[in-house]
Amino acid sequence: MKVNSSKGCIGLTLPVWVAACARAATEALIGLPFVPLQTLEVQGFEETVEVPIASASAFACGHLGMGICYADSGLNLDLTNGLEIWTVVQWHAECGDRDLNPEITSDSWLQLIAGSGVGKFESSGEACLSEFAIELLRRNLRGLVPKGRRLRLEIIFPKGRELSMRTSNHAFGVVDGLALIGTQVEPQSSASPEQLQKTLEQLRNQCLDSEFSGGLTLVIGENGLDLALQLGLPSKFLLKTGNWLGPLIVAAADVGVKQLLLFGYHGKLIKLAGGIFHTHHHLADARLEVLTALALQEELPLKLIKSFYKVDSLEAALLIVEDKSPALAKQLWGRVAIEVEQRSVTYMARHGSWDMEIGAALFDRNRNLRWAGDKGLEILDVYGVKMKA
């Protein structure tokens, strides 16, 4: 498959734009002429990807190379559409400008720096890059770096910090900018009908697999998928979803799934507890209102419940309860998980008669699996997955 963004075939994910921009900057550093259409190799792609770059040049007497491009995701609602990207490269100081260092190995030749506007993990300060993004950079830069030299690559999103305030990055411990967490070449619109059709097709194919025995896990987003794999949920029967959870639940029942696990960030799955089965924020929110209603049903102190309206995020409300009483927080969020399960069963029953069991498992902003409903606990136990205490 050949993808040429300059001809408007499709948009491309942020890691692809960054890799192409970094390659143009590295070519400038080693004295090659500027190539406005960069050709990238992508693992798993039959052919190459061609990506347009705005400019690239060497400066500082040839000691630095810089590339500039503008991301085109092809999705109107995507915050990264039109994002300006800078990549700055230089030989690492340890290597010197001309002298080679034989100790530079195949694993240490590339140093990645999260510049202004690029998201970092709050816990470590390291750049938040997916394995796909790192592999894309290594695959397309390695051939330009002489043996024994170490390339220092700084990625900069001039408006990244500003745009990140409109994302859920901070909910996952990512601060100061936009995360590079894409896992494929083509972007997916989690809210588009086209993406729903693709996901439905994937669901049907998974359930036709000869090894399928009735269990399937729907994971919401890249963070959910990454955590699910780390915890050991069966990778062959994990399906990453967008925001169309309602139709996917019904489709899963219709193709013969017997145990469905809904696995996701609590800030997404709580919407299902309020009967909202399309979870995109452009459609509906009501998360604090749902939390308040469930807190009342669990008979939490009224003063504590009223404090929810003094904060502007679900995470802040959770912290209020945890600071007051960890036991009450566990009780409340256990109720949320149970409500997700019950509402999902009710939603399924409105569309047909099936005997599929539905479990829910929720993780927090630190990507710790914390809460599950009764069915969710049963399914997790089958898979040998334990929750954080």
Contact 329, 322 (CB under 8 A): yes
Element spanning 363, H or E: strand 357-363
Q: What is the pLDDT of residue 288?
A: 86
Locate 199 and state its tokens.
Answer: 């996901």
Q: Lowest-pLDDT range, 192-206, 221-235, 276-290, 347-361? A: 276-290
Q: Which fold has domain 193-383?
A: Beta-carbonic Anhydrase; Chain A (3.40.1050)
With tokens 């469930």, the residue in question is 294
**pTM value?**
0.61
Beta carbons of 205 and 236 less than 8 angstroms apart: no
Whether the pLDDT of residue 333 is over 80: the answer is yes
The two structure tokens encoding residue 195:
């993406």
- Greater model confidence, 172 or 121: 121
| 110-161 tens-digit pLDDT | 999 999 999 998 878 888 888 889 999 999 999 999 988 999 999 999 999 9
Confidence of residue 328 (pLDDT cuts 50, 70, 90): very high
Q: Given a cut of 60, is residue 274 above it in pLDDT?
A: yes
Is the pLDDT confidence value at 183 over 90?
Answer: no
Domain ranges for the chain: 3-178, 193-383
Higher local confidence (pLDDT), 80 or 321: 321
Q: At what angle do helices 245-254 and 193-207 cross, to 10 degrees?
A: 30
Q: pLDDT tier at 5 (50, 70, 90 boundaries)?
A: very low
* Residue 131 burial (10 A CB sphere; 0-12, 13-18, 19+): exposed
Asked whether 186 and 125 are in contact (CB, 8 A), the reply is no
Decide which of 3.30.2110.10, 2.60.120.260, 3.40.50.300, 2.130.10.30 is the CATH code for 3-178. Answer: 3.30.2110.10
Mean predicted lDDT score pLDDT of the chain: 84
Taking only the tens place, the pLDDT of each residue in 41-85 is 987 666 789 999 999 999 999 899 999 999 997 764 467 788 999
Q: At 265, which helix (H) or strand (E)?
A: strand 259-265
Output the six-digit token pair for 124. Answer: 């470590």
The pLDDT value given to residue 32: 96
End-to-end alpha carbon distance in the chain:
47
Is-same-fold flag (3-178; 193-383)? no
**pLDDT at site 259:** 95
Q: pLDDT value at position 188? A: 54
Rounded distance between C-alpha atoms, residue 389 and residue 248, angstroms: 31
